[in-house]
């Protein structure tokens, strides 16, 4: 085999994507704002849902979905950074990215599958709550909530675990060790290169193919159809109970508002997550895990992945536009935080001023003790002797005008304050 250790790659060959491709524009120019909006929006959503008075079953499930969406965005971030030359040409970044690329893809699929099942759980909870008033009055125990969350996380982790072994990658260090390059092949493909048979064991190839099928079915397709059915049932129940006399209570109106918000989130989720199921099925049955050669099909697959990322960033806007109680709670919490910040700043200013006064008093006391013949010290001693002869209590106050200012010495028990050239400040 030819020694390529001394071969150096050009700048164009070192890039990960073609600068004229749709993928380059989507992930370089559009994904960064989507990432920032999604992370800030979901964190703000968690800030509101975790506030006092907002903890219930539906909000806990929505909070778990927000955490999964934030994780998805962070796992997709390195795939967007490779479109910037600063990262694409960095040896350290390329080294980490090449070895972690498919692990990040596996974790992104895990968080996406978990989010789907959290949304499904929210839909089931809302449907039971709108149909049965007694169900809404009962809260889940912490143990039941914990095991539900743990079950979803573990089950979706096992469902997407095949991604960790779905590709076999080879690495080369070029240009005297200053450059690194990699090429990966699907372990489920029939051929890796032209006329080169896939050497992967058959059991591993079957495992990846079965895992892809199961993820497509239980991770996207079946949950999507279940969400559509549950959403239709929720809308039907809302229409049926719109004129019900028992729905005039405050609690039932709140239940309806929450259900409307959940319906909007589910609709957005279906529109942004549904196309990815078609992509998985095509990769399984239509493409046979082979490398995509057709440019149009490749651009469509990248656009579908980007739409999924948009869906992870849209929940905050749905909350703000649909839920009036969410907007009011958010404004109230922000005003409360602003008031707390102003109070803390004022306390720090007062504490700093008090510390400065104590430092000035301490320095003045040291000067008087080092110079006992000073006028202030002599007059203080004289006044003290006179007070003791007259039987006055052990307290001393001296006011002396100097340079149109005041000097005030106040001794009472253990406290002593000094202030020169200004009035004494009441802290």
Question: Tens of pLDDT along 177-200?
Answer: 888 888 888 888 877 777 778 888
Domain span at residue 350 reads: 338-420
User: Are 372 and 299 in a shared domain?
Assistant: no
- Shared domain for 103 and 192, answered yes or no, is yes
Same domain, 276 and 356: no
Position 54 scores a pLDDT of 74
Could you tell me the CATH number of the domain that includes residue 257? Answer: 1.20.1070.10
Asked if 305 and 416 sit in the same domain, the reply is no
Contact status, residue 269 vs residue 121, Cβ threshold 8 Å: no
In a domain, 5, yes or no: no
Using CA atoms, how far apart are residues 385 and 391, in angstroms rounded to an integer? Answer: 10
Q: Whose CA is closest to 23, among 396, 383, 295?
A: 295
Buried b / exposed e across 91-120, counting CB within 10 Å, b at 16+?
Answer: eebbeebbeebbebbbbbbbbbbbbbbbbb
Angle formed by the axes of helices 31-49 and 315-322, nearest 10°? 50
Q: Is residue 273 in some structural domain?
A: yes
Q: Which ranges of 57-201 does DSSP label H, i.e. alpha helix?
A: 57-81, 85-88, 91-131, 133-137, 142-159
Which residue among 271, 289, 322 closes a domain?
322
Residue finishing a domain among 291, 322, 353: 322
Q: Do residues 237 and 342 both lie within one domain?
A: no
User: How far apart are the two ends of the chain, measured CA to CA in Å?
Assistant: 83
Count structural domains, the chain: 2
Mean pLDDT by 10 residues, the chain (427 residues): 69 71 88 93 88 79 91 93 88 91 93 92 83 70 88 95 91 84 85 78 90 86 86 78 58 67 80 78 65 74 87 82 75 78 76 70 62 48 43 42 40 36 33
pLDDT digits (tens, 9 = 90+) for 136-185: 667 777 888 899 999 999 999 999 999 999 998 888 888 888 888 888 88
Residue 345 maps to a domain: yes
Q: Is there a single domain that holds both residue 295 and residue 353?
A: no
For residue 260, give the nearest of 328, 329, 330, 325 by alpha carbon. Answer: 325
Claim to verify: residue 235 and residue 374 sit in the same structural domain: no
> Quick one: pLDDT at residue 370?
57
User: Residues 173, 80: one domain?
Assistant: yes
Supply the pLDDT for residue 12.
63
Task: Kindly report the pTM of this predicted structure.
Answer: 0.74
Report yes or no on 331 lying in a domain. Answer: no
Do residues 109 and 253 share a domain? Answer: yes
Predicted pLDDT at 397: 42
Q: If DSSP codes are grouped into helix, strand and coil, which group holds residue 319?
A: helix
271, 287, 322 - which closes a domain: 322
pLDDT at residue number 162: 93
């Amino acid at each position: 085999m030819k020694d390529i250790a001394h071969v150096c790659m050009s700048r164009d060959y070192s890039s990960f994507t073609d600068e004229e491709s749709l993928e380059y524009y989507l992930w370089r120019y559009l994904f960064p704002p989507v990432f920032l909006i999604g992370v800030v929006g979901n964190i703000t959503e968690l800030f509101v849902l975790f506030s006092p008075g907002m903890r219930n079953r539906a909000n806990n499930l929505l909070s778990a979905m927000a955490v999964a969406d934030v994780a998805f965005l962070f796992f997709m971030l390195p795939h967007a950074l490779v479109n910037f030359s600063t990262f694409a040409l960095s040896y350290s970044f390329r080294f980490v990215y090449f070895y972690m690329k498919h692990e990040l893809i596996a974790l992104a699929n895990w968080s996406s599958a978990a989010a789907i099942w959290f949304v499904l759980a929210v839909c089931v909870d809302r449907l039971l709550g709108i149909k049965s008033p007694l169900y809404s009055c009962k809260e889940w125990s912490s143990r039941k909530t914990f095991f539900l969350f743990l079950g979803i996380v573990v089950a979706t982790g096992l469902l997407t675990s095949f991604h960790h072994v779905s590709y076999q990658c080879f690495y080369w260090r070029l240009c005297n060790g200053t450059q690194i390059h990699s090429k990966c092949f699907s372990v489920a493909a029939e051929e890796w290169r032209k006329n080169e048979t896939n050497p992967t064991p058959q059991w591993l190839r079957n495992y990846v193919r079965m895992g892809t099928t199961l993820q497509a079915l239980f991770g996207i397709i079946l949950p999507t159809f279940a969400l559509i059915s549950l959403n239709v049932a929720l809308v039907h129940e809302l229409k049926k109970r719109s004129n019900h006399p028992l729905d005039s209570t405050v609690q039932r109106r709140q239940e309806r508002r929450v259900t409307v918000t959940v319906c909007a989130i589910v609709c957005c989720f279906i529109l942004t997550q549904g196309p990815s199921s078609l992509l998985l099925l095509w990769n399984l049955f239509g493409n046979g895990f082979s490398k995509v050669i057709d440019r149009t099909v490749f651009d469509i697959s990248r656009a579908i992945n980007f739409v999924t990322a948009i869906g992870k960033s849209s929940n905050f806007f749905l909350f703000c536009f649909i839920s009036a109680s969410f907007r009011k709670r958010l404004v109230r919490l922000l005003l409360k935080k602003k008031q707390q910040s102003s109070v803390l700043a004022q306390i720090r200013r007062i504490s700093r001023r008090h510390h400065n006064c104590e430092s000035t008093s301490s320095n003045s006391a040291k000067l008087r003790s080092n110079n006992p013949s000073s006028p202030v010290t002599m007059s203080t001693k004289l006044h003290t002797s006179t007070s003791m002869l007259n039987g006055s209590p052990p307290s001393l106050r001296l006011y002396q005008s100097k340079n149109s200012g005041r000097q005030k010495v106040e001794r009472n028990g253990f406290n002593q304050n000094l202030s020169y050239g200004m009035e004494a400040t009441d802290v």
